[in-house]
């Protein structure tokens, strides 16, 4: 069964304290992996799509990497406005469009 | 920047009533989706829609659910007879074409079934 897990469940950082969020997946024939940011009561906001092991993408203080079994979202020198839930999601090669989401990591950045 | 929009932002209904949730996808997008998120749980795929037909649906999307693109801009999700367990945030998403996989999400409609 396709599965996406994320760790930690929650993470509390001091402003400027860099860290990484982990996404592990078990999916037959991964076609792509996504990272989204979700603020409370809002829809997922797209951050990155990764397709191949070894691929990296960067946006401001965020960098996403992909291996054959997992993905990492690195947050460098976070600011309070980076506080949100970060969702990892995958899509299978055999699926038209069904995106399978992980449970998310809730990040709090304390000033 | 173009966005997916959804109305209403919050819908309260009585159990057994029909509800229609509305979405306006990004204008040049061709693929449309509905997801739901029960409070405190994962975002779950419901259905995908392309070329005026359902292309994929999950086991959640049973006969109580239906989708429609009634005109060139709107995409709707209908729940025929709501149950308490249908209470959730419902998100609409869209993407441009079959070449890309990235789906863009709307702000959601919070459905409360009493």
Mean pLDDT by 10 residues, chain B (114 residues): 92 97 94 95 95 92 95 93 97 84 93 98
User: Of A51, A33, A25, whose CA–CA distance to A90 is shortest?
Assistant: A33
Answer whether residue A107 shows pLDDT above 70.
Answer: yes
pLDDT of amino acid B98: 67
Q: What is the pLDDT of residue A46?
A: 94
Q: In the structure encoding, which two tokens stand for residue A16, read together? A: 């400027």
pLDDT tens column, A88-99: 999 887 766 788
For chain B, the domains span: 15-95
The whole-chain average pLDDT of chain A stands at: 94
Contact list, A33 vs chain B (CB under 8 Å): none
Which pLDDT does position B97 carry in this prediction? 77
Distance from CA of A48 to the nearest CA of B (A): 9
pLDDT higher than threshold 80 for residue A27: yes
Burial class (CB in 10 A: 0-12, 13-18, 19+), B100: exposed
Residues from B contacting A (CB-CB < 8 Å) are 4, 31, 33, 35, 41-45, 48, 50, 55-56, 58, 89, 91, 95, 101-108, 110
Tell me, yes or no, if A16 comes closer than 8 A to chain B by beta carbon.
Answer: no
pLDDT value of residue A81: 97
Q: What is the 3-state secondary structure (H, E, C) of A32-83?
A: EEEEEEECCCCCCEEEEEECCCCCEEEECCEEEEECCCEEEEEECCCCHHHC
CATH number of the structural domain spanning residue A54: 2.60.40.10
Q: What is the mean pLDDT of residues A21-41?
A: 92
* Full domain range(s) for residue A7: 3-110
pLDDT value for A96: 64
Distance, CA of B18 to chain centre: 15
| DSSP 8-class letter at A95 | -
Q: In this predicted structure, what is the pLDDT of residue A87?
A: 98
Count the domains in chain A.
1
B49: nearest CA in chain A?
Answer: A97
pLDDT at B99: 63
pLDDT tens for A61-72 read 999 999 989 999
Tokens of residue B107, six digits: 């702000």
Question: CB-based contacts of A2: which residues, under 8 Å, 6+ apart?
Answer: A25, A26, A27, A28, A90, A92, A100
Give the separation between CA A24 and CA A29, rounded to whole angstroms.
Answer: 14
Residue A82 has pLDDT above 90, yes or no: yes
Q: Which CATH number fits domain B15-95: 2.60.40.10, 2.60.40.420, 2.102.10.10, 2.60.120.10?
A: 2.60.40.10
Instruction: Decide if A101 and B56 are in contact by the 8 Å CB cutoff.
Output: no
């Amino acid at each position: 069964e396709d599965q996406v897990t994320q760790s930690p469940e929650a993470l509390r950082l001091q402003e400027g304290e860099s860290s990484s969020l982990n996404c592990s997946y078990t999916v037959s024939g991964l076609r792509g992996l996504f990272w989204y940011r979700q603020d409370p009561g809002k829809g997922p906001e797209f951050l990155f799509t990764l397709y191949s092991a070894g691929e990296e993408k960067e946006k401001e203080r965020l960098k996403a990497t992909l291996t054959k079994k997992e993905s990492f979202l690195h947050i460098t020198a976070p600011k309070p406005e980076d506080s949100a839930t970060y969702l990892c999601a995958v899509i299978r090669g055999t699926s038209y469009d069904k995106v399978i989401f992980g449970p998310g990591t809730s990040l709090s950045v304390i000033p | 920047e173009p966005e997916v929009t959804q109305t209403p932002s919050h819908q309260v209904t009585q159990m057994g009533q029909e509800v229609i949730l509305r979405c306006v996808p990004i204008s040049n997008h061709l693929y449309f989706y509905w997801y739901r998120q029960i409070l405190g749980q994962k975002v779950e795929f419901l259905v995908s829609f392309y070329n005026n037909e359902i292309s994929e649906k999950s086991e959640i999307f049973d006969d109580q659910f239906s989708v429609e693109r009634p005109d060139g801009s709107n995409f709707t999700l209908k729940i025929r007879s709501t149950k308490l367990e249908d209470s959730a945030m419902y998100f609409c998403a869209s993407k441009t074409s079959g070449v890309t996989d990235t789906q863009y999400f709307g702000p959601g409609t919070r459905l409360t079934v009493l």
